[in-house]
Amino acid sequence: MPERSSRSAQETGDKDAWLTHLLDQDPEGRKELASLHATAHLLRAVAERIDVPDGAEEDARQRALSEFHTLRDRATTPRRAPRAPWFAALGSAMRYVFTLGRRR
């Protein structure tokens, strides 16, 4: 594996500034800062090297949609349209009754 240039290492260190700020309050964490930076650097390098095949995102979306439809079709209880609570229907009826005699 080729050696990374010092510029690349500096850019990676800049990306991991959140780690330094996180450990500023913890004196014991400062001891582990070098190993944590190395781990973060390794994980970032691995994540950047993963190749995504063409069409993989669309295939994953299609699989997710088909699974969603399968789960929705498996539901045993039929879905009803939402209804207003009984007191809302009563309020509407009372409003109608009390406004019958009112002139407009």
Average pLDDT over residues 65-71: 91
Domain membership of residue 27 as a residue range: 6-49
Count up the domains in the chain and report the number: 1
Tens of pLDDT, residue by residue over 7-34, are 555 555 566 666 666 666 666 766 777 7
User: Is residue 58 one of the residues assigned to a domain?
Assistant: no
Give the model's pLDDT for residue 19: 66
Question: Which two tokens mark 1?
Answer: 């594996």
User: Is residue 90 one of the residues assigned to a domain?
Assistant: no
Query: Which residues contact residue 33 at a Cβ distance below 8 angstroms, ignoring those fewer than 6 apart?
Result: 19, 20, 23
Tens of pLDDT, residue by residue over 28-63, are 766 777 788 788 888 888 888 888 788 988 999 999
User: Is residue 102 one of the residues assigned to a domain?
Assistant: no
User: Is residue 88 one of the residues assigned to a domain?
Assistant: no
Task: Identify the residue with better confidence: 82 or 78.
Answer: 82
User: Is residue 77 one of the residues assigned to a domain?
Assistant: no
Question: Which two tokens mark 70?
Answer: 């399968």
DSSP assignment of the chain, as one string? -PPPPHHHHHHHHHHTHHHHHHHTT-HHHHHTHHHHHHHHHHHHHHHHHPPPPTTHHHHHHHHHHHHHHHHHHH-SSPPPPP---HHHHHHHHHHHHHTSS---
